[in-house]
Amino acid sequence: MKLARFSHGGAAQMGVVRDELVYSTGVADVASWIAAGRPAPGGTGRPLAEVKLLAPIARPGKIFGSGINYVSHKTENPDAVFPTEAGYFSKLPSSVIGPGENIVLPFPEAQADYEVELAVVIGKAGTRISRDRALEHVLGYTVINDVSARAVQFKEPGAQWITHGKGFDTFCPMGPWIALTDEAPDPQRLRVRSYVNGELRQDASTEEMLFPVATLIEYWSKYITLEVGDVLSTGTPAGCGTFRHPPLWLQPGDEVTVEVDAVGKLTNHVRPPAGSPGVRLRLRG
């Protein structure tokens, strides 16, 4: 089953996607759908082409990201140092956008980059979740483009710059829906890909993860309660623009598509800074 958040002539609602049709469940968000006992959809389905798909979770309570979680990083960056435990960084809830919405560059020199990621949606809250029970807490999976402003992220060592560089408005495209676990029973047997203007940039299997989904959940829940609707993004493989020669930064007008097998495909366009340039960061170097 696939759960989509969509709008049609008004308020947002949750629906079930079947055969290019979406059927309303009568609730507005994932948490309400779970609290209501996961009601079955009713009524007549609407063609997906007639509705606006929204980010499946408008404002997740938490968005965790995993850095350097694919072994292929060594192929593009021989100096990469693999982590010995599953650390995390945060993306901001206000950075979330849905399918078809624009990625807006915060300033022209941002060095914006794309990152396709399998994202986990928590369906049952828990703390100190064991690895062997971790997938029981997963509602399903969605796709995230972990857009990153490398000029800010790499400005100086330290987590504050990672969060800043990855937390700009529009820097967390998410969607197109949530594929429940029956659609993807094994998160380590999926393929992730990214395309810029139709050109394949990333292509890898989630088997390459240094820390599988269950390990990430165990580690992240050790001291932090994972709640319904939290989103855990699991890292990106080799192929980002950063390590290409020369680097390939996202430019206004680019079309970026990220996809995960059995989950879905998410497309967004890149736009220049909106309005006046406003306050820009003073970057070193």
Q: Cβ distance 21 to 46 under 8 Å?
A: yes
Structurally, how many domains does the chain consist of? 2
Q: Is pLDDT at 189 greater than 60 in this prediction?
A: yes
Q: Name the band, by pLDDT with cuts 50, 70 and 90, for residue 193.
A: very high
Quick: pLDDT tens for 11-42. Answer: 899 999 999 999 999 999 999 999 999 999 98
User: Does residue 253 sit in the same domain as residue 125?
Assistant: yes
Between 149-153, 204-208, 280-284, the lowest mean confidence (pLDDT) is in: 280-284
Whether the upstream peptide bond of residue 56 has omega within 30° of 0, thus cis, is no
Model-level pTM?
0.93
Distance CA 189, CA 201 (A): 20
User: Does residue 39 sit in the same domain as residue 135?
Assistant: no
User: Does residue 174 sit in the same domain as residue 33?
Assistant: no
Q: What pLDDT score does 74 carry?
A: 80
Q: Name the band, by pLDDT with cuts 50, 70 and 90, for residue 276.
A: very low
Look up the domain containing 249 and give its range.
55-271
User: Does residue 132 sit in the same domain as residue 242?
Assistant: yes
User: Does residue 184 sit in the same domain as residue 115?
Assistant: yes
User: Does residue 147 sit in the same domain as residue 7?
Assistant: no
Q: Name the band, by pLDDT with cuts 50, 70 and 90, for residue 196.
A: very high
Quick: pLDDT tens for 83-122. Answer: 899 988 999 999 999 999 999 999 999 999 999 999 999 9
Q: Which has more pLDDT, 142 or 156?
A: 142
Q: Cβ distance 258 to 194 under 8 Å?
A: yes
Q: For the chain, what is the mean pLDDT?
A: 92
